Amino acid sequence: MTKNSAGMQAALRIALVLFILGVWELMVFRGLLNPFYTSHPAGIFEDLVAFYSSGDLVRHTSVTLSQAMLGLFFGTIIGIISAFVLGLFDIFGKVLEPLITALYGIPKLALAPVFVLWFGLGSESKIILASLLVFFLVFFSTYGGIKNVDRNILTSVRLMGASQMQLVTKVILPSVVPWILAGVRGGLGASLIGSIVGEYMGASAGLGWMISYATNFFRVDRVMSCIFILFFIGIVFNMALKYTEKVLLKWRPPVDYGGTL
């Protein structure tokens, strides 16, 4: 991708967001939307300024981010290790993979009250919930990547005298990195969801707690402000992950589909 095309894409994204905000503000101004229920961009901006000036924005955002990041870290590490153990040792995979799949079907968000009961109202319950959500996404993505490694390459490397450790570090791991990053991409959003939902269930700080508090007092501007903050965090996370992918996968040539994909 050239710098010009990247700049054009960024400009189009910004133009699209500004267009949506403009239409939203215009509909409120024309009376087509009730700002009591939907708020409007100007009101949200004013609330963001007040939110920041009071110091609450930094405090609540840092609480949610710290919980989400720890959940992403632990969930990713445990998911990768579990996937490699089950993927490299068939006996473990055949026994445990169906059980993990069954556990994945349980609504994790419904476990939030249980985690609060078990681990208290502190950050521990939110981190554990976020880690659990991330774990499944990273595990299944990594496990699928291990199972899809080209067997012909593995056979050829074995015939060349490679040890098991060399197979893992030189063949399997590089092949699985794109799959891991795909799982982490989904885990970024999942970690925030786990933190926010945990704060809904019981907390004294965080963006989830603030949304719940503002909703109870019909402060729609504050609710929308928190949503915009989460939207911005998601953009920053996505940019950071794309940069990480570019660094880790610089050995992989770009795919040219011969079209405009």
**How far is the C-alpha of 55 from the C-alpha of 59, rounded, in Å?**
6
Tokens 């928190």, residue located: 226
For residue 225, being part of any structural domain is answered with: yes
pLDDT number for residue 153: 75
CATH number of the domain to which 92 belongs: 1.10.3720.10
Q: What is the 3-state secondary structure (H, E, C) of 36-77?
A: HHHCCHHHHHHHHHHHHHCCHHHHHHHHHHHHHHHHHHHHHH
Residues 147 and 87 sit within 8 Å (Cβ to Cβ):
yes
Candidate from 188-202, 208-222, 240-254 with smallest mean pLDDT = 240-254
b/e map 185-196, b = 16+ CB within 10 Å: bbbbbbbbbbbb
For residue 1, being part of any structural domain is answered with: no
Counted domains in the chain: 1
pLDDT score of 261 more than 50? no
For residue 18, being part of any structural domain is answered with: no
pLDDT, tens digit (0-9, with 9 covering 90-100), for 173-191:
888 888 888 889 888 888 9
For residue 35, being part of any structural domain is answered with: no
For residue 130, being part of any structural domain is answered with: yes
- H-helix or E-strand spanning residue 211: helix 207-216
- H-helix or E-strand spanning residue 236: helix 220-248
pLDDT score of 257 more than 50? no
Q: Which of 246, 190, 199 is nearest to 72 (CA)?
A: 190
Provide mean pLDDT across the span 23-51: 87
**How far is the C-alpha of 186 from the C-alpha of 184, rounded, in Å?**
5
For residue 53, being part of any structural domain is answered with: no
For residue 239, being part of any structural domain is answered with: yes
Domain extent, residue 208, equals 63-248
pLDDT, tens digit (0-9, with 9 covering 90-100), for 224-237:
999 999 988 888 88
For residue 214, being part of any structural domain is answered with: yes
pLDDT number for residue 77: 94
Task: Please report how many Cα atoms fall inside a 13 Å half-sphere around the Cα of residue 163, on the Cβ side.
Answer: 3
Q: How far apart are the first and last CA of the chain?
A: 12
The alpha carbon of residue 61 and the mean position of all alpha carbons in its chain are separated, in whole angstroms, by 16
pTM of the model: 0.81
